[in-house]
Chains A and B, each alone.
Chain A
Amino acid sequence: MTGYHLSLISLTGIMIVFAVSLNMIMGLCGQVSLGHAAFYGVGAYVTAMMSAGGVPTLYALPVGMLIAGLMGLIVGFASLRVRDDFLAITTLAVGFLFVGVVRKSRALGGEFGISGIPESGLGPAGDAFLVAFCVVLTVALSVYLSRNWTGLAFRSISANEEAAQTLGINSAHYKLLAFCIGCALAGLAGGLYANYARFIVPGTFGFSLSITAAAMVVIGGIGSTAGVVAGAVLLTLFPEIFRFLGDYRMLVYGALLVGVMLFQPKGLAGIPSMVRRWAGPR
């Protein structure tokens, strides 16, 4: 296995953590977020600044998570006030606000970002192992959450918030929880990314990354952890898989997005049941 493969695997792992974190907010709890890259960016910037200041990566990562989680809590309060399309637009604005502020902030390196982030000291294999560990942890948390009482509450809010409230579910409490956990995990993914790339610029954390994450969730199958993991793997490796397309990759990417939405709106997670319907007794 070459260093290139190792780095590709790390990147895929980071995107899995990121996509699964968005799925907690969007898939489980049903709150559409189009600015999730901002929290990834918060995690990346906090971790990068602390690493550059001499703090070991393993200590910097949780701090990045914590701060991203707190930011998520603040945006979560917005989700109590606005709903549906209005929430989608609010989170979209949060994404633009983050990039706009970072771009003009001299302390955060402005347009040029932060370069020369020191190595974690774990070595390439150690870094890959760290990413793998975080992936396992995130996926386990997501599966655990979706199967216990909290996940049920999330799903009920996603299905019908008024009905959930009538049944005595404190929807505000659970929405804030979803934003908090989801954004903290996005911060973790961002911290891992800063450690992986060792060079970050504000443009990375813009609208297109938020959309990529949303596409991973929806193409994978909204609400299904396994589907979202598959979606994240597929879209991260997309440039590799479709390398033969050369200059036409974005064209095909757009067409793929449209095609999945038209013919398989439940995403990859909907395929097994479709196959079963075909193969099963009629």
Chain B
Amino acid sequence: MYYVDLLISGVAFGCLYAMATMGLTLVYGLLRILHIAHAALFTLGAFVGVWVFNASGSLIVGLIVAILAAVVMGCLIYRLIYESILSQPPYVPLLASLGVLIFLQDGFRIVFGEEGLTVRHNPFYMANFTIGAFSINVIYIVMAGGALISMAVLAFFANYSRHGIAWRATVSRPLLAANFGVNVIQVRYAAFAAGSALAAIAGVLVALMNNLVEPHSGELISYKGLAIIVLGGLGNMQGAFIASLVLGIAESFGIGLAGRYVDRDAIAAVALIATLMIFPNGIGRART
């Protein structure tokens, strides 16, 4: 039973990682930027969502406002920061992105306070769903379900809509896509918007799970997010999804079995190093 519990929480966390870091994959695929400031969008979504939820009493309203806030901020980050330094060597955008993360995290601390916000009437707090001998946290089901639905929608768009085709074309051959009349700039904004929206949803879900959002909540995904996109292959969505699940499950079992010797981040680190030593170019192959 213990192992089943570990598996369930691992899968739930894996789905959550996938949803939270999809924006990183989209951005990395298009611009080759390790967009670590994405973690701040996750926290922004959580703060705005919880604040509006507490004030209005409606989770749906909170979620919508959170998504809007994250989308606006994500597009602003692209326009104000990345656009002018795309031609620089990769560590320049990476450090600029880190600067944005530090700036926003400290901004959250100043605006919302060091202790962050608590969810006032949390419908999922301590709610369990029981089948026979199993008892699953409802929030895990919501996390996994939300992630799978939003990913399915995204995958559908990427595969069947004209915008999705434009996105895929731009990822594999940016110049050629532009020559065929794809508006590359628009594709970039769409990627930042979609990724930021997913991060905001993930942020709100994690805030509901912890019943709390803090200025540093985003650290849960910031560094692991980078690991996931790189492991998943260059901007490859399926690869990133598999990498997220692997990471979630590895962490969950690692804590359960070796938690006395190493902590959660170190287990993720071991999983990462081992995978990269076996597959030096990530699990998923780049789409060319």
Contacts and interface: CB of A to CB of B under 8 A. Distances in A.
Contacts of B230: 85-86, 89
Interface residues of A, number: 44
B264 to A, nearest CB: 8
A215 interface: yes
A260 to B, nearest CB: 8
Q: Interface residues of A: mostly helix, strand, loop or mixed?
A: helix
A255 interface: yes
Contacts of B277: 78, 81-82
Given A85-B230, A262-B81, A254 B263 contact: no
A265 interface: yes
B130 interface: no
Contact of B110 (A86, A94, A248, A261): A248
B260 A86 contact: no
A217 to B, nearest CB: 9
Contact of A262 (B84, B101, B264, B276): B84
Nearest to B261: A104
Q: Interface residues of B: mostly helix, strand, loop or mixed?
A: helix
Nearest to B227: A89
Contacts of B98: 211, 215, 257
Interface stretch (B15-23, B89-97, B131-139): B89-97
B224 to A, nearest CB: 9
Interface in B171-197: none
Interface string B244-287: 00000000000000001111111111101100110011100000
Given A94-B273, A251-B110, A258-B96, A218 B84 contact: no
A254 B223 contact: no
Chain B: interface residue count, which band?
35 or more
Given A96-B223, A251-B106, A254-B106, A85 B90 contact: yes
A128 B267 CA distance: 39
Given A32-B91, A85-B34, A248-B110, A254 B101 contact: yes
A99 B265 contact: yes
B100 interface: yes
Q: Most chain-B Cβ atoms within 10 A of its Cβ — which of A85, A90, A103?
A: A85
Interface of B: 32, 34, 81, 84-85, 88, 90-96, 98-107, 109-110, 223, 226-227, 230-231, 260-270, 272-273, 276-277, 280-282
Interface of A: 26, 32, 78, 81-86, 88-90, 92-97, 99-101, 103-105, 207, 211, 214-215, 218, 222, 247-248, 250-251, 253-259, 261-262, 265
